[in-house]
Amino acid sequence: MPRSALLEIQPYHFHRDPASGLPDWWVWSLRGPAAESCRIQHTRVWLADPAELADLYKLPSRISGLREAGGGGLPEIEEQVRAAGERIARIALSETANHLRALAPVVVRLQLPEQLAEFEALPWELALVDGLPLALHGVVFVRGAPPASRAPTASRAPTASRAPTASRASTTRPPVAEPALPPYLRMLALFSLPQTTAPVDLGAHRTALRAELLDVVAGVPDGDLPLELRTRQFGVSRNTLEHTLAEPEGWDVVHLVAHGLPGILSLERDDGTTDPVRTSDLLTLLARARHRTRLVFLSACWSGGQLLEQNGDLGKVGLPPSGAADHAAVNEHASTAADRGSALTSLASAVAAHLDCAVVAMRFPVGNDFARAFSVRLYGHLLRHGHTLPDALRNALRETVADGELDEHRYPLLCAATPMLYGSAALTLRMPDRRLHGGALRHLPRDGTGALPARPRSFMGRLREMTAASGALAPLSGVRGAVLHGEAGMGATTCASLLAHDHREVFDALLWHPRPAWSEAVVPPLADPFADFLRHAMIHLPGLVGVRRELPWAELSARLAAERVLVVLDAADVAAGRDSRFAELVEAFVAVDGPGRILLTSRTELPGIAADLPRVPLTPLPADVMEQMLRTLPLLGALRRQGGVVPVQVLRRTGGNPGLLLDAERSAGDTATMKDWLRNHPPRNT
């Protein structure tokens, strides 16, 4: 069991100033680990001026203002946070800060009377002791963990090796139908980025998370940690969340990455724009996860993510177009005592209470790189090393703050005060929490798409392009699809594959027509690819069965467009060049107003074909994205970590073309082959 302590303020052990309504004195009671001492330490705090406490409530709005202005950036924010940490240690916790430091490492359950609910949100872990915040001393606060007399009585889902006890069934509430848990862990990770929010590249976050979890599974002895991981980055709507949570096996972990405001998460509407989901609505969407989900990770903040410019300095933090309104919302949120505090305080506490699970949330906005690094380290400690959730958070935070490759390394106080834990379940949560065994895991049912490539394991960059194409595929987008076009190696097929996987739940069927084989291929092309395409369409769309012989193929194409189907034509320029019926198919499909969508990939803009379809050009990737991609590659990434010059030479020759980078990776296993590759690929202008 982890070392734990209870920090509380008893009812009536506080007083509010009649003039300001703010607390002007209170008494902290700290009970240390039971095995060490039963003594309770009491500390009485007197405020000469309640306005000092009001300054702590205003910290979120000050940070929001500095980010919106864009002139101060992280250095000024760090100074604001430092001043708050000194104030908390001096006047808010007083001697209790030193007592907590002496207990470290320790998990502290924060228990407050309802009349002091606003105290829960204040960043107590930020209190500076010996120049460091309590969080970096190893003190982890858990909020929203009521005493036993007020704890939720709803039972938890049984483990795979244990049946519900009789005492659980005899509660005053009606029995809850508890799901049978699968003998493997299930994790759902959703990355929401509507078109109208500030651009943040979530592809690297998604790729790093997948790689870490796959590494965890591979690193567990005897394969004792079977894991099913589902990720989605585009088209994350209320329906997506609701339908995915409806799967009978349920999910052990739900990881949500999104823009946020106080009490709000930004999901996507059917037209691809922002859908602000308030706390009450989110609880409704998450209702199916109750009694099943163990951990919800809310990787969001009130104003959206921040962007790091090429020079590594913090640029203007990305805000939705209504940035002033968002800043006003943060100020309004901080204006009343009941709602003062972090962006996700009310959301996180509500989710923890409603689902009876542990919640990790973010108090302040931090960079996407920090959020990614922190989350993958937390899961590594939780799943690979078997740490409790508080220990996993403590270790992940220390490692991430000390990571010299992150810009936030220079601003440790802001980062130390950002992660928060909520819920009684967070105090002792370990994962896995039941007996597991290997074997085939459940995957999504096959759509009969045949040639649909597997979901890309790694995907970075292309944020604006993917957001635009994803919006075009949305049910209410107002367009029939999109054309992804770019030179060889720019990743049109990979982009289309990821979009198809992410949108498969929106459509009744998904038809992927592969890139046509070249005439000299070992396996010759089909005699009639177009006829083969129509045959697959009728196999997977029952509404078309039996009509092929009754209708001309052009009318059949129109019927196809009226179905809820996503059609993907890979290398449409090649297909249309070899058989004009493919071009006519596209024209007939686009001309019909229906729920179907069509996605085309091409080396050209497809002039003369479906002019109404939006074109999404795939241009060379920026140097920083190419560098990030190279780091993830097994061979070139290892060479980079060794400090060799080959990775630098490769990047100069790729010119932002990811296909060339992958080609170089295939040659990197042998020195002579790598030299030949470099010799055959002169440096390119980027």
Residue where one domain finishes, among candidates 427, 453, 477: 427
CB–CB of 170/426 below 8 Å? no
Domain identity same for 209 and 107: no
Question: What's the mean pLDDT in 495-523?
Answer: 76
162 pLDDT above the threshold of 60: no
**Read out DSSP for 454-484?**
PPPS-----HHHHHHHHHHHSTTSSSSEEEE
Pull the structure tokens for residue 299: 């990787």
Question: What's the mean pLDDT in 204-218?
Answer: 73
160 within some domain: no
pLDDT at 620: 94
CB–CB of 293/354 below 8 Å? no
362 within some domain: yes
Domain identity same for 324 and 198: yes
455 pLDDT above the threshold of 90: no
pTM score above 0.75: no
Domain identity same for 420 and 471: no
538 within some domain: yes
451 within some domain: no
455 within some domain: no
396 within some domain: yes
pLDDT at 358: 96
Which has the minimum average pLDDT: 127-131, 304-308, 594-598?
Answer: 304-308
Give the ranges where 541-667 is alpha helix by DSSP (H): 553-561, 572-578, 580-591, 623-632, 634-641, 646-654, 658-667
Task: Please give the Cα distance from 52 to 91 (Å, whole number).
Answer: 8
Domain identity same for 509 and 632: no
Domain identity same for 252 and 192: yes
Range of the domain at 581: 463-617
Sheet containing 615-617, strands listed edge to edge, beginning at the edge strand earlier in sequence: 509-513, 565-569, 597-602, 481-485, 615-617
Domain identity same for 650 and 664: yes
Domain identity same for 417 and 476: no
Token pair 């009349």 in the structure block, residue: 115
602 within some domain: yes
pLDDT at 228: 81
Strand, helix or coil at 295? strand
What is the CATH number for 371?
3.40.50
Domain identity same for 526 and 583: yes
The number of distinct structural domains making up the chain is 4
The 10s digit of each residue's pLDDT in 277-291 is 988 899 999 998 988
Confidence at 650, pLDDT banded by 50, 70, 90: very high
pLDDT at 378: 94
pLDDT at 39: 77
The 10s digit of each residue's pLDDT in 420-434 is 999 999 999 998 887
Token pair 């390119």 in the structure block, residue: 684
465 pLDDT above the threshold of 70: yes
Residue where one domain finishes, among candidates 143, 172, 199: 143
Domain identity same for 214 and 244: yes
Domain identity same for 91 and 219: no
Residue where one domain finishes, among candidates 115, 143, 171: 143
177 pLDDT above the threshold of 60: no
566 pLDDT above the threshold of 60: yes
Domain identity same for 219 and 354: yes
On average, the pLDDT of the chain sits at 79
Q: Roughly what angle, to the nearest 10 degrees, separates helices 671-680 and 658-667? A: 150
Domain identity same for 105 and 211: no
673 within some domain: yes
